[in-house]
């Protein structure tokens, strides 16, 4: 059994600065709470998002105990956060992607300034070897947020026209990033998804039926819960399956925004793994806070505003 998961760690910084906790005590409480959750899951590999400082992730790994392998994207966003993987098993290869998949054009991200052809954060692919001769490709992403920010560091728009424009800019970029992620999956499966075990995890910043999330799945049809889910067809060579429908009742969310539960974190697998999924869970039992648009409002929180998700795979 191999346990693979994903968790947005919410501004994992050491104390001080704009987003780090205000005290060493608050920081240590956050590390302890997160370590307890991770050790309860006991993942073999965990994709992580919002790593503000590599040193902070190192502190968390020390809190976990045991031997861990850590890889991080070298491409943080403007806030300094990035994605990574912590793994109990060796990481044998990795790829860090930032450029939009060609020939996708650059997109507008603000009222003024240049267009961008880069993802907001690097997308990381890591190959792990759970046992001799058995490999698994794990892709970790954090797509562009739909929690909007505005010029001058504002979290509220001047008017509804500005809100609409910046909502569109965020959607442009998230769609381009989803397309780029789809390109990564295509390269890893190489038309052999029935034989190549690939897992895509991360914070997609949108729910299962959103257009950007659907882009990543590839060929339509055969969704879980339909009669064709396990019936072989030509799409199996490149399709991904979102495991959200396997979540137990009461666990169909990973964040609470303005009092409403949202499932914006996802685990997707290639056909080679689809009938090897033993369990899918969202760890919402410890309670999630209701968040707003201000990413700095929870500096001293002793946990994350996201629930971790994990899947048990029989390899």
Q: What is the pLDDT of residues 70-119, one digit of tens each?
A: 999 999 999 999 999 999 999 999 999 999 999 999 999 999 999 999 99
Q: How confident is the model at residue 124 (pLDDT cuts 50, 70, 90)?
A: very high
Residue 285, pLDDT above cutoff 80:
no
Average pLDDT over residues 118-129: 97
Q: What pLDDT shows up at residue 295? A: 64
> Closest Cα partner for 274 from 236, 235, 300?
236
* HEC profile of the chain: CEEEEEEEEEEECCCCCCCCCCCHHHHHHHHHHHHHHHHHHCCCEEEEEEECCHHHHHHHHHHHCCCCEEEECCCCCCCCCEEEEEECCCEEEEEEEEECCCCCCCECCCCCCCCECEEEEEEEEEEEEEECCEEEEEEEEECCCCCCCEHHHECCCCCHHHHHHHHHHHHHHHHHHHHHHHHHHHHHHCCCCCCCCEEEEEECCCCCCCHHHHHHHCCCCCCCCCCCCCCCCHHHHCCEEEHHHHCCCCCCCCEEECCEEECCEEEEEEHHHHCCEEEEEECCCCCCCEECCCCCCCCCCCCCCECCEEEEECC
CA distances from 95 to 130, 265, 266 (A): 19, 21, 20
Q: What pLDDT shows up at residue 110? A: 95
Strands 198-203 and 134-142 turn out to be parallel
pLDDT digits (tens, 9 = 90+) for 137-195: 999 999 999 888 899 888 899 999 999 999 999 999 999 999 999 999 999 999 999 99
Q: Which two tokens stand for residue 195?
A: 């034989």
Q: What pLDDT shows up at residue 297? A: 74
pTM of the model: 0.96
Report whether 9 contacts 51 (CB < 8 A).
Answer: yes
d(CA 122, CA 77): 8
Average pLDDT over residues 11-27: 94
Q: What pLDDT shows up at residue 146? A: 83
Q: What pLDDT shows up at residue 115? A: 98
């Amino acid at each position: 059994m191999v346990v693979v998961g994903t968790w947005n760690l919410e501004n994992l910084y050491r104390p001080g600065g704009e987003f780090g906790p205000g005290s060493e005590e608050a920081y240590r409480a956050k590390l302890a709470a997160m370590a307890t959750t991770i050790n309860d899951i006991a993942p073999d590999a965990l994709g992580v998002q919002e790593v503000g400082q590599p040193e902070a992730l190192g502190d968390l790994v020390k809190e976990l105990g045991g031997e861990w392998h850590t890889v991080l994207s070298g491409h943080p966003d403007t806030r300094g956060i990035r994605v990574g993987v912590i793994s109990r098993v060796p990481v044998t290869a990795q790829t860090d992607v930032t450029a939009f998949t060609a020939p996708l054009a650059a997109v507008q991200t603000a009222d003024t300034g240049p267009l961008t052809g880069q993802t907001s954060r690097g997308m990381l692919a890591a190959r792990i070897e759970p046992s001799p001769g058995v490999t698994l490709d794990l892709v970790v992403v954090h797509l562009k947020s739909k929690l909007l920010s505005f010029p001058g560091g504002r979290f509220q728009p001047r008017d509804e026209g500005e809100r609409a424009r910046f909502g569109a800019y965020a959607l442009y970029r998230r769609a381009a990033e989803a397309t780029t992620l789809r390109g990564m999956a295509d390269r890893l499966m190489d038309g052999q998804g029935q034989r190549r075990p690939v897992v895509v995890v991360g914070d997609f910043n949108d729910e299962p039926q959103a257009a950007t999330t659907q882009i990543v799945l590839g060929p339509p049809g055969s969704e879980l819960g339909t009669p064709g889910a396990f019936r072989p067809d030509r799409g199996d060579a490149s399709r991904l399956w979102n495991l959200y429908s396997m979540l137990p009742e009461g666990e169909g969310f990973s964040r609470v925004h303005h009092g409403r539960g949202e499932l914006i974190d996802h685990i997707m697998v290639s056909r080679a793994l689809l009938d090897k999924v033993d369990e899918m869970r969202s760890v919402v039992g410890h309670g999630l806070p209701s968040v707003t648009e201000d990413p700095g409002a929870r500096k001293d929180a002793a946990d994350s505003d996201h629930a971790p998700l994990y899947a048990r795979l029989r390899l």
